[in-house]
Amino acid sequence: MFAALECKTTSIKRQRRFHQRSGLSLVELVIGVGLTGIAATALLILSSSTGRSLAELANYVDLDHYNRVALDNLTRELRQVRYLNTYSSNSVTCTDKDGSQLSYVYSPIDRTLTRTKAGFSTRLLEQCDRLNFSIYQRTPQSNRYDLIGTSAITNCKVITVTWSCSRSMFGRKVNTEQGQTARIVIRNKKEL
């Protein structure tokens, strides 16, 4: 009928457990610092490269802007001159529409193109590596689009100017504006 109940006393002993402390071992710490260093170096190189590229791009845009402004001013003024007074490969002097002397002089030492009129000089171009003026007659060569060159300033109807500019950044030449060329026809030329 009834089964006998067995009663046993069990001791309640605290079992000692090995408690691990949370934290990093030296190996884990070295690996973590190494990976963080690699990531920080990659980020630094990327940001440095991007910053340099943006600075060079902004510098190039600025250089191109100054070249265009100089070319526009030079073209506008030379179209309106009466005639050419003197000419060399790095300078032209003309009589302007108001009768005063207008000259453009390139200095390879200073790397500048300077405009002078009525005793006032202004720099049109800076950091110009080379500049060359050429003069031509009105008549084109037969079967070509090229004009006939002239050495006599009395026959000059077209002035050609070609230049290239560059700038340096971070100790090296980074931007070069290569192709600035214009053929400027003297519109107000008086026959001498």
pLDDT, position 171 = 74
119-177 residue pLDDT tens: 899 998 888 888 999 888 877 777 777 777 777 778 788 888 988 888 777 777 766 66
- Are β-strands 101-107 and 112-117 bridged in parallel, bridged antiparallel, or unpaired? antiparallel
**Neighbour count for residue 30 (Cβ, 10 Å):** 11
Q: Give alpha helix (H) positions in the chain.
A: 26-79
What predicted TM-score, i.e. pTM, was given to this entire model?
0.68
Give the model's confidence band at 109: pLDDT under 50 very low, under 70 low, under 90 confident, else very high: very high
- Mean pLDDT, the chain, integer: 82
Contact 162, 131 (CB under 8 A): yes
Highest mean pLDDT among 3-7, 64-68, 110-114, 169-173: 110-114
C-alpha pair distances (Å), 106 with each of 40, 132, 137, 140? 49, 8, 23, 28
Sheet holding 83-88, edge to edge: 83-88, 91-95, 101-107, 112-117, 120-125
* Interatomic CA distance for residues 119 and 74, integer angstroms: 18
pLDDT tens profile 20-42: 566 778 888 899 999 999 999 99
